[in-house]
Amino acid sequence: MTKSLDTISLYVRRQANNPLRYLWEQSWLFLLSWIPTIVGIAIRGVFYRLIMKMDGMAAIENGVRLRFTSNIRLGKRVYLDQGTYLHACPNGITIGDDTLVMHGSVLHVYNFRGMKQSGIRIGKNSLIGEYNVIRGQGGVTIGDRVYTSPFVQIVSVNHVFDDPTVPFVDQGITAEGIVIEDDVWIGSGAVITDGVRIGKGAVVAGGAVVTKDVAPLTIVGGVPAKVIRTITGEKTTGDKTIYHL
């Protein structure tokens, strides 16, 4: 019996700030999260203000999963598509005005170690493509007008595995954080690893694995990603075919 109660207590602690808050949030989600069409969007736009911070009217489709809603802040005209999942354990998730989070994307702070730098911050007029995964243990900051294509992974955590005599799960993690500056385009299936900064106006080719900083106005691609060229304003031909962006 004690073990079962401990398991339930652990589950609740990983869903909301406290048991009473869990009941409050889940009650509203149970009542309203399933309602389809524009009727449901309108109802959630009004009543979800009771469980999260909303600067204006956000459009939240049915079937959106939300946890630690007290740590979520949505700007004006934010859109959360069906099947998205926001888990905002401290220090939370902030999404700026006119930003879209598309179907199936997961934004998970996953800060069960109590790290101060954890969190996800997305700027204005950005688009998080279908089935993206953003993990915010080390902190993820995404600027304005950043577009990510489907199946992008932005993961601000890495396991330490230097000691062959110790299981990697016992060797700790790194969580340096990821910064993606304004006006960046990230192609389908790209992976952005912990500790990386992508400069303003850069482009990451589809399928690239970015393990080092990317300078502004630079196109990178490959595994690991390397510089393909800089963006100078000169017209080029064949780029769409070569880079599969």
In terms of Cα–Cα distance, which of 75, 118, 73, 65 is closest to 96? 75
Strand order in the sheet with 127-128: 59-60, 79-80, 100-101, 127-128, 147-148, 185-186, 203-204, 218-221, 226-230
Structural contact between residues 107 and 81, judged by C-beta atoms closer than 8 angstroms:
no
Active-site pick, 87, 103, 108, 159: 159
Structural contact between residues 196 and 174, judged by C-beta atoms closer than 8 angstroms:
no
Structural contact between residues 136 and 115, judged by C-beta atoms closer than 8 angstroms:
no
Read off the tokens for 121. 């911050």
Active site (annotated) includes residue 244: no
**Running DSSP on this structure, what letter comes out for residue 170?**
G
Contacts for 115 with CB less than 8 Å, ≥ 6 apart: 137, 138, 175
Q: Is the dihedral of CA 236, 242, 243, 244 positive or negative?
A: positive
Residues with a known catalytic role = 159
